[in-house]
Structure formats: structure tokens, C-alpha cells
């Protein structure tokens, strides 16, 4: 859990200070998630990072660049002659393990992304609830001061957002768009 003093959390003196505080909070959350990795996760992350680098490509270029000539040049004893069955076996095993390490790393990163998305959703819902409440309070102030309300959208915006209804609407629209594309492609 990231601890931050409640006394100065929302009292920045500038936008830069506010953004720096937010960045530091996010950095602490990232560090906390990173600290919870198991040894296997750390190994998988390091292997996946190396496999996604140009160094990995150059290692393989050198490896194949040495292996193939050694096993094709005449008058040299070949340990894996053409069609390089042992090389094929080694590369196939490497691919299996690398795929596994990358999947382990991606699964862990996916869980972190899911948590971030959940946090974003919670913050967005809280912000929406705060905005709806502020609109209701402003309307009450306007009524108290006898200020006429001229914007019909305010009533709509004051209503609490229902996420489940929004998800249904999103699903309906997306399915309709997908069906429309499928019909156009026929």
C-alpha cells in the first residue's frame, strides 16, 4: 500500500507540483507491483525483454552464421550435416521455451493492466458521482438565488450514470457496427 500524507496530498502549489505528485504515486504503485514478482516472474520478464531486443537477433545471426558453415564446409567433420536436424531440434525447443516465458510475462502484465483498468474505472465513476452531486448542488444554489435555469441538458447530466446500462449500449452499438461491416463485406 502506498502511504501518502493526507495533509498535503491535494494541496499542490502549481500544476507541475500536482503532476509530479501524481507521477510519484504511479511510480510507487509500479514499484509495489514489481516488488511482488516471484523469482520465476523476474526470470520470465528478463528473458522476454532480452528476446525482444536486437541483441537476441545478433546472437542468432552469429549462432547460425557459425553453425551452418561449420556443418557445410567440405573437409571439416560435420556434427549436424544438412538438413541440420539437430539445429532444427534446438531451435524448436528454444521456441517452445521462449513462447512460454513471453506468455508468463504477458499474463503478469495483463493482470497489472486489469488492476489499472479497474482503478481507472473506480476513479471515473467517483468523478462522475462527484460531478453529478456538484451539478445538483449548483442547481440548489441557483434555485436559492432565484437564477433561472436555461440549459435543459443539466437535468440529464445530474442523473447518476449507470455503468451496466452504458455497457449494454456499447455492446449493442458495437454488435450493430460489426454486423454492418459483415454485410458490407458480403
> Which tens digit of pLDDT belongs to each residue from 136-149?
898 889 889 998 87
Contact 76, 96 (CB under 8 A): no
Give the CA diameter of the chain. 102
Contact 158, 132 (CB under 8 A): yes
Could you give the CA distance from residue 166 to residue 172 in angstroms, rounded to a whole number?
Answer: 10
Contact 102, 51 (CB under 8 A): yes
pTM of the model: 0.65
- pLDDT attached to residue 90: 96
User: Is residue 25 over pLDDT 50?
Assistant: yes
Cell of 67: 553453425
pLDDT per position as a tens digit, 157-175:
777 777 788 888 888 888 9
Amino acid at each position: 500500500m502506498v502511504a501518502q500524507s493526507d495533509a498535503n496530498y491535494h494541496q499542490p502549489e502549481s500544476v507541475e507540483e500536482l503532476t509530479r505528485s501524481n507521477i510519484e504515486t504511479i511510480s510507487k504503485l509500479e514499484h509495489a507491483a514489481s516488488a511482488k514478482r516471484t523469482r520465476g516472474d523476474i526470470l520470465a520478464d528478463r528473458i522476454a525483454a532480452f528476446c525482444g531486443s536486437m541483441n537476441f537477433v545478433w546472437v542468432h545471426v552469429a549462432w547460425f552464421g557459425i553453425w551452418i558453415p561449420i556443418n557445410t564446409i567440405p573437409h571439416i567433420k560435420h556434427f549436424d550435416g544438412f538438413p541440420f536436424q539437430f539445429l532444427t531440434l534446438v531451435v524448436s525447443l528454444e521456441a517452445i521455451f521462449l513462447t512460454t516465458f513471453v506468455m508468463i510475462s504477458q499474463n503478469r502484465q495483463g493482470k497489472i493492466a486489469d488492476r489499472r483498468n479497474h482503478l481507472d474505472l473506480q476513479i471515473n465513476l467517483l468523478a462522475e458521482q462527484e460531478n453529478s452531486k456538484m451539478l445538483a448542488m449548483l442547481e440548489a444554489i441557483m434555485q436559492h438565488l432565484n437564477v433561472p435555469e436555461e440549459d435543459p441538458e443539466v437535468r440529464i447530466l445530474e442523473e447518476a450514470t449507470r455503468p451496466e446500462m452504458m455497457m449494454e449500449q456499447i455492446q449493442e452499438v458495437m454488435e450493430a457496427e460489426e454486423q454492418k461491416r459483415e454485410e458490407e463485406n458480403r
